[in-house]
Structure formats: structure tokens, C-alpha cells
Amino acid sequence: MRAYWFDNEQGDQRLPHDSNRDVEPSYLAQLGVLYYHLPEESKVDTIAKERDYKNRDVITVSPDAMGAIYEDKVKSFFHEHLHEDEEIRYIRDGAGYFDVRSEDDAWVRIRLEKDDMIVLPAGIYHRFTTDEQNYIKAMRLFKDEPKWTPLNRGNETDINEHRQNYLQSRSA
């Protein structure tokens, strides 16, 4: 894992967009973003149990796995959105970037590789992209049924109660 400020330059979303200004894990924690490095997959069971996650699946995002829809998928993952539940991803292979909004609405880019796990809190604005290798395999954990509906950022999401709760918990 490496977290840094996104450079906001033009260019493919899959490029690093590295400003060379790092972001400390403690700042991620301030945003409510949790990070774990878990070389032992069994540790996932412990975390899943603690947080009451019962189900999981594995998704491969790549042209090989997705065929013609790959480019559209990658674009849609990159639309800024929030969820009304946590988003947990545990990378099993390949790599990708999760971008999360800072308190000042700047982008923090988080590069995740194999054995990295991230927990994004409900209500945080974020987006995802593969990198130039165009390949990531990730485990997605969920509680009962997946509540992954991405709610694209707009007036509606700004007043969403999960968004409000998120902002409240950050300022506490």
C-alpha cells in the first residue's frame, strides 16, 4: 500500500498520478479509512467475524475476465460515488487504486497490491481504477446481501443520511 495526494493532471486514470507527496496512514485513519496487510488469508476470517461480515465473493477486473465490457466497467468504477455501507476489498492478485476524498475535498490515491485490505467507511466519496497492467483480483466482503449500489455524487448524496453521519463522525 502507498497513499499519496493525486496530482490532478490530465491523462489516463490508470496512470499513477503521483504528486510525490505521501499521505500517512494516520491521516487515512482520520478519514475513517482502515488499512491492513494480510499475507495470511485466515486473518480475513477474524476481521470478517469482528465486523459481522458473513459473505464474500471474488471479482477479477481485467480484459481477459470481462471481455468487451472491461473499458466501460473501468470507467464506471471511476465515477465518484458513495455507499450506504462499508466497502471492504482484499486484494488477491494484481493492483489498483482507490481514490478517496480528503476533508478538503482533494483526492488521496491509495495504491493496493496483493494481500492489502482496505475498509472504506459508509458515506465517504471515492472511486476505483485498475492501473496500467489492467488486472486486479479482489475479494469483496459483505454482511448479508450486497449493498454496493454506487450513489454517484450530487445534490442527493450530499444530503444522504449516511453521508451526514460520516461527516459527523469525522468532526467528532
Distance CA 103, CA 84 (A): 19
Based on CB atoms, which residue is closest to ligand KMT, 4 or 98?
A: 98
- Confirm or reject binding of residue 139 to ligand KMT (CB under 6 A): no
The interface partner of residue 66, options being ligand KMT, Ni ion, none and the CB cut-off 5 to 8 Å by kind, is none
DSSP 93-146: EEEEEEEEE-TTSPEEEEEEETTEEEEEPTT--EEEEE-TT--EEEEEEESSS-
Distance CA 153, CA 147 (A): 17
Distance CA 135, CA 143 (A): 26
The interface partner of residue 138, options being Ni ion, ligand KMT, none and the CB cut-off 5 to 8 Å by kind, is ligand KMT
- Confirm or reject binding of residue 59 to ligand KMT (CB under 6 A): yes
Q: Are 2 and 82 in contact (CB under 8 A)?
A: no
Distance CA 41, CA 154 (A): 37
String marking each residue 113-132 x if it binds ligand KMT according to CB under 6 A: ---------------x----
Question: Which residue in the shown chain puts its C-beta closest to ligand KMT?
Answer: 128
Based on CB atoms, which residue is closest to ligand KMT, 48 or 61?
A: 61
The interface partner of residue 59, options being ligand KMT, Ni ion, none and the CB cut-off 5 to 8 Å by kind, is ligand KMT
String marking each residue 79-98 x if it binds Ni ion according to CB under 5 A: --------x-----------
Which whole-number Å values give the CA distances from 168 to 70, 98, 111, 123, in the listed order? 37, 23, 27, 11
Which spans of this chain sit near Ni ion (rule: CB under 5 A)?
87
Which spans of this chain sit near ligand KMT (rule: CB under 6 A)?
59, 61, 77, 87, 89, 96, 128, 136, 138, 140
